[in-house]
Amino acid sequence: MKNLMPGLRKFTENVFPDQKDLFETLSQCQKPHTLLITCSDSRIDPNLLTQTQPGELFVIRNAGNIIPPFGASGGGEEASIEFAIDGLKISNIVICGHSHCGAMAALMDKVDLDTLPSVKHWLRHAQTTKKRVLACRKNNDINLMDVIEENILTQTDNLKTHPSVSCALRQNKIRLYGWVYQFETGDVNIYDHKQKCFVKSVAVKEEVLNEPSRFEL
């Protein structure tokens, strides 16, 4: 706690007064444009990564940036997704994975989960990722980034089983994006459904980003 108190004082005494108008506006309502689904990993700061202000992102975080298929989990993901789309009327959904993901390492049995039964149970929602990776690569040829990227595609498929998402996609009200953030370089790779691969964000053309959806229904 002693590591947090100086930051709280700085926020109260300096940051808040400098942005008082913003926070007064946010006290009335929120109008985020993007639902960002990412990992709980402490090395990810969504607002720092996207250079956005408070109120711009509606964020769901959990181990492995996992979205269980509709009806498969008693967690809060379903409610948060529904609220983001039907309540807040967001226009973009981003699933953002990251390099060196411990959850994906655990999925591929690189981490002992005997003492983490809840984590092991949670990762069952990413078993399709594991099956897909093993189906196209020999076990000794698999690197962690293969799993991280495949998991984003798997979770996108899961996301589309949610009625609010599938309905909004059919009506071209939202766009879906898959990202991979690399801690060591600062690069963010974005999935290009035409090339069927992740490409550096600087190489993604504006017209591609503005297509009705980066992922087919």
Annotated binding site for Zn(2+): 39, 41, 98, 101
Distance in angstroms (rounded) separating the CA atoms of residues 71 and 206: 35
Contact 68, 125 (CB under 8 A): yes
Per the annotation, binding residues are 39, 41, 98, 101
Residue type, 185: T
Cα 203–Cα 136–Cα 158 angle in degrees, nearest 5:
70
Contact 154, 97 (CB under 8 A): no
Place of tokens 């020999």: 138
Strand ranges (DSSP E) for 77-119? Answer: 92-98
